[in-house]
Amino acid sequence: MRAIWKGAIAFGLVNVPVKVYSATEDHDISLHQVHNADGGRIRYQRRCEVCSKIIDYSDIEKAFEEGGRTVVLSKDELKSIPAENSHEIEVVQFVPSEQLEPMMFEKSYYLEPDSKSPKAYVLLRRALEDTDRVAIVQFALREKTRLGALRIKDDVLVLQSLLWPDEVREANFPALDESVRISAQEREMSAALVESMAADFDPDHFTDDYQIQLRTLIEAKLEKGDSLDTDETFGVEAGEGGKGEVIDLMEALKRSLDRKRGGSAAPAASAGEDEEAEEEADTGTKGAAAKSTAAKSRAAKSGTSSTAKSGTAESSTAKSTAAKAAGTKSTAAKSSTAKTSATKSTTRTASAKPAAKATTTRARKGA
């Protein structure tokens, strides 16, 4: 990094020499303008409206115009302003950090000790740490008198320039003056949605998608030239967002919660609905099985007074039922039940031929 300014922090009668560095930088890919017909670079020229000549930077001065009058200010005249010549960062107050309005933050600078001994620098840093406060300072930089906040980041003093109060616009929106009723259920749902998305902020988890995709586009264009197919490069992405104003707020909140809970992009049934459906299906299956068992039991009981055909069906049913109840009845019990049923049926109808089989025992023909 290269220092952009040198000065000193005036902390009461304590002087802390520092070097100032820009703490941030732009990571955007640099693009320039060209003529779309031949690719020629577009250059902006500083042309005078009076003489039509192209003017060098060294011959340009600044001016102020008001009421039809123009006042030209030379570089030397601008440098004569006392504040411009000051290289002092004056501490004027120490305030609680929560009293600073984030909207006023403009740009951040790192301050490096610029003396043989960093003791005064460390003393100021410790004072800020011990009191848990932020120093409000005034300083001049690049032809502007600025307000700033001095705080600590990773053991380094950071100077954040602040906007002046009259540089922050007032928000005046008539729509916000209208009375709007928010139901308790809507507030609960929105609070649940916030809770489902709650996390500790880690800027490393986020990426500048536009710059990544712009780099992809540039590399694809370098490889394929004018035959570039952007649909093939990026694919087709379908989304639901940004299609208009939300009319049913509760439905939108429910869908949002379902999406977060289910981890799916598509709207899904809630967990309660899924469990209810599973319970209904399970109950239906058990009910059908119970009805089937009851029907078989009734058929077995009425078999003793039926015809030989009924006896045969009865015997078959008894076998099936006994097989299904193998966990509670033994094989011998099944055989005995089948024999008894077949014998009774044979006594009542001598001409009938029972066909029931029970395990390895066959029923004999009646005399």
Burial per residue of 113-137, b for 16 or more beta-carbon CB atoms within 10 angstroms, e otherwise? bbeeeeebbeebbeebeeeebbbbb
Question: What band does 353 get if pLDDT is binned at 50, 70 and 90?
Answer: very low
More confidently predicted of 219 and 301: 219
Q: pLDDT tens digits, residue range 80-101?
A: 888 777 889 999 999 998 999 9
Residue carrying the six token digits 């009191």:
131
CA distance 323 to 339: 15
What was the pLDDT predicted at 91? 95
For residues 39 and 57, the answer to whether their CB atoms sit within 8 Å is: no
303 has pLDDT over 60: no
What was the pLDDT predicted at 273? 44
What was the pLDDT predicted at 287? 47
115 has pLDDT over 50: yes
More confidently predicted of 25 and 283: 25
188 has pLDDT over 50: yes
Paired residues of 152 in beta bridges: 157
User: Distance of CA 264 to CAs 166, 241, 249, 341, Å?
Assistant: 47, 15, 20, 60
271 has pLDDT over 90: no
361 has pLDDT over 80: no
Question: What band does 259 get if pLDDT is binned at 50, 70 and 90?
Answer: confident
356 has pLDDT over 90: no
H or E element that contains 70: strand 69-73
323 has pLDDT over 80: no
Q: pLDDT tens digits, residue range 211-248?
A: 999 999 999 989 888 888 888 888 865 444 455 555 68
**pTM of full prediction above 0.75:** no
Kindly report the number of other CB atoms within 10 A of residue 141's CB atom: 20
338 has pLDDT over 50: no
12 has pLDDT over 80: yes
